[in-house]
Amino acid sequence: MNAEAGMQAWLASRVETWRQLSPQLEALEKSRNHSAAEALQAIDLYRALGRDLSIARRILPGSRVTKALEHSYAKLHSIIYRKPHDWRARLLTLFREEIPEVVRELRPAIVWVTLLFVLSAGAGWWLISQHPELISLLASEEMINGVEGGRLWTEGLLNVTPSSVLSIGILSNNIAVSLMAFCLGVLFGLGTFYIIATNGLMLGAIFAFTHQHGMAGELLKFVTAHGVVELSVICLAGAAGTMLGEALIRPTHATRRESFQHAATKASRLLVLCALLLVGCGFIEGYLSPDPSFPMISRGVVGFGYGMVMIAALTGDLFGRKRVKPAVGF
Amino acid sequence: MAAPQVILQSITGVDVELRIAGVGSRSFAFVIDWHIRAVLAFTWWAIGSLVSLGDIATFFAGEEAPGPGYFLWVLLPTAGIYLFYHPILEVLMRGSTPGKRMAGVRIVTRTGDIPSMGALLIRNVFRLIDSLPFAYLVGLATALFTEQHVRFGDIAAGTLLILDSKEHDTSFARLTPPNRSLDPRAADLIHELLERWTALDEKTRGEIGRSLLARADRSMSPEQLAQLSTVELRTRLQTLLNPTP
């Protein structure tokens, strides 16, 4: 048998198997609950396809048959190497193990970012105390006129906007700020510092401005219930952002790219929890904070209580994390 | 120019070759998806406005502020469709979207497998950076200047956009022509020529067609080949692939 006849015979023997490939791969890709027999069948198919591709690459290089085999082989490869799928187990691992681990790793960054936020808030307070006219750079004209007229912008907020709409508006704004604080870490951490510093500066400046008009207490009353967690979450997102910057400045892997990817994957786990906590903040800020019938004590309890929930979530205790006792040595 | 490739080793010892999608395919997929989501979002908004306000013009007139119901049931879903189109569809379609399917591209991890939900979400969060300052300039620039044509979102999530054309699936269907005496390599070339027949000028397709016919059908003399008209040549080539019994 000459080479050409051999090739023909080989093609003829394999063609029916290949024709079945497309529907087989489609079925394997769509289903997520394969039996052991199906999985073994897929592995057998993968081996057979690898063999066929190897022959096709040699005897028919660059042909359509080879390209089609390459395509099917790559697709089957992606199906076989797909990670196991168990939502419940995955979520439990995320909240019980992975997020607390990231928080532990980020502890110094959280402290530094919080410090930056506090210092910026102090700087904002000092700036407006010394130069009150600069408030026009940081607050809207409407807000300034309101405070100068003895009326805080948060007063009567519920008469203008319903709580549900207010909650969603606040939630989206907070999530956008947190995501920006995280993502801008890609600028070697500088973008994160900028977002944290400007947010702190604005907070301090606005408190100073309302203080000058005798309304700082009212603003504090408004902020207490949701502010504890909201501001903490912004600092947490900022700390996650610095992780990206750190990965680029001092890579922990062979390349900066790998290091960045590793840091992004790790830090983004914390963002999942941040987003969930912000949903609660949005709810409180939309329904409770603008409602004047809630006394300061209730606001304090909610703010403090939600802060405790946040800490329990960050340590994993809220999700039933089991602490491993250190072994006692003799 | 051939697309850059990523070669992955596998347990069978036969490498997996993934062809990386270039900036063109990436942009094409994005433009299709953008149109789909814009049309979907606009349709929701228009129908919602008609149902709740009775007239779209009322919204623009601004005489009466729409109620919270309008915000919750019309504006919020409209924004949701526009903003969450990519993350939701990429997760549901395992690394693809309608636009990506039409453009023949797909998202995979750097090890060639289907990306996890986490990776797809990270990829989408970084759209915040890639879309800066406008029209995805940062993303476009990084895709242009990186070896594997990836944007920041892909770097962060460890994903790649690869070529995944559906045309390969049809290749098996016409694989072994009924004419088994025909060399598969020649058959491949004849298929390609017939597909591009109308796009080629007459002289070029005549030359290539005659050369292929001479290779596949040795019974024809050069004079007979030269005398064949374009239509006859095409018919002969088609007959070679699918001879009547």
Give the residue extent of every domain in chain B.
5-163, 172-240
Q: In Å, how far is B163's CA from the nearest CA of chain A?
A: 9
Selected residue of B96, B127, B172 to mutate for chain A interface (largest A Cβ count, 10 A): B172
Q: What is the ipTM of this complex?
A: 0.84
CA A205-A206-A209 angle, to 5 degrees, is 85
Cis-peptide into B133, omega within 30 deg: yes
Chain A residues 98-117 with CB within 8 Å of chain B = none
The answer to whether the beta carbons of residues A131 and A249 sit under 8 Å apart is: no
Which residue intervals of A149-293 are DSSP H helices? Answer: 157-160, 163-183, 190-212, 216-249, 256-287
- Chain-centre distance of CA A152, in angstroms? 33
Chain B partners of A63 at a C-beta cutoff of 8 Å? Answer: 184-185, 188
Check B176 against A15: CB less than 8 A apart: yes
Q: Residues of chain B with pLDDT > 90: what percent?
A: 42
**Identity of residue A1:** M
What gap in Å lies between CA A171 and CA A270, rounded to an integer? 17
Selected residue of A8, A10, A77, A83 to mutate for chain B interface (largest B Cβ count, 10 A): A77
What gap in Å lies between CA B148 and CA B7, rounded to an integer? 12
CA dist A199 → A123, A193, A247, A303, B236 (Å): 11, 10, 24, 20, 76
- State residue B79's pLDDT score: 93
The answer to whether the beta carbons of residues A84 and B114 sit under 8 Å apart is: no
The answer to whether the beta carbons of residues A72 and B168 sit under 8 Å apart is: yes
Which residue's structure tokens are 């947490």? A236
Check A265 against B68: CB less than 8 A apart: no
Check A63 against B188: CB less than 8 A apart: yes
DSSP assignment of A91-153 equals HHHIIIIIHHHHHHHHHHHHHHHHHHHHHHHHHHHHHHHH-GGGHHHHS-HHHHHHHHTT--T
Q: Give the up-direction half-sphere exposure of residue A194: CA atoms within 13 A in the CB hemisphere.
A: 11
Judged against a pLDDT cut of 60, whether residue B178 lies above it is answered with no
Check A54 against B14: CB less than 8 A apart: yes
Give me the tens of pLDDT residue by residue for chain A, a chain 330 residues long: 577 777 777 877 887 788 788 888 888 888 877 888 888 989 999 999 999 999 989 888 878 888 888 888 988 998 888 887 788 888 999 999 999 999 999 999 999 999 999 999 999 999 999 999 999 988 888 888 888 888 877 776 666 677 778 788 888 888 999 999 999 999 999 999 999 999 999 999 999 999 999 988 988 999 999 999 999 999 999 999 999 999 999 999 999 999 999 999 999 999 999 999 999 999 998 888 888 888 999 999 999 999 999 999 999 999 988 776 666 655
The answer to whether the beta carbons of residues B189 and A24 sit under 8 Å apart is: no
DSSP class of B14: P
CA dist A134 → A128, B31, B69 (Å): 6, 44, 39
**Identity of residue A233:** V
| Token pair of A175 as six digits | 């999530």
Selected residue of A65, A86, A244, A266 to mutate for chain B interface (largest B Cβ count, 10 A): A65
Beta bridge pairs of residue B106? B162
Beta bridge pairs of residue B8? B16
| Token pair of B209 as six digits | 């067609």
Check A183 against B176: CB less than 8 A apart: no
Chain B partners of A8 at a C-beta cutoff of 8 Å? Answer: 180-181, 184
| Token pair of A53 as six digits | 């591709």
Chain A partners of B165 at a C-beta cutoff of 8 Å? Answer: 71
Check B172 against A21: CB less than 8 A apart: yes
Judged against a pLDDT cut of 60, whether residue B43 lies above it is answered with yes
Chain A partners of B168 at a C-beta cutoff of 8 Å? Answer: 64, 67-68, 70-72
**Identity of residue A318:** L
Query: B181 pLDDT band (50/70/90 cuts)?
Result: low
Tally Cβ neighbours within 10 Å of residue B23: 16
Q: In Å, how far is B199's CA from the nearest CA of chain A?
A: 20
Task: Flag whether residue A180 sits within 8 Å of chain B, measured between CB atoms.
Answer: yes
Per DSSP, the three-state class of B58 is helix
Phi and psi at residue A108, to the nearest 5°: -60, -40
CA A157-A159-A162 angle, to 5 degrees, is 80
Give the residue extent of every domain in chain A.
10-80, 87-319
What gap in Å lies between CA A106 and CA A269, rounded to an integer? 12
Per DSSP, the three-state class of B105 is strand
Check A74 against B18: CB less than 8 A apart: yes
Residue range B67-95: average pLDDT? 91
Count contacts between A and B (CB, < 8 Å): 138
Check B188 against A81: CB less than 8 A apart: no
Tally Cβ neighbours within 10 Å of residue B180: 13
- State residue A310's pLDDT score: 96
Q: In Å, how far is B227's CA from the nearest CA of chain A?
A: 30
Among candidate residues A50, A63, A55, the one with its CA nearest the CA of residue A9 = A55
Chain A residues 190-219 with CB within 8 Å of chain B = none
Q: Residues of chain B with pLDDT > 70: what percent?
A: 88
Give B204's contacts (C-beta < 8 A, 6+ positions apart).
none
What gap in Å lies between CA A9 and CA B19, rounded to an integer? 30
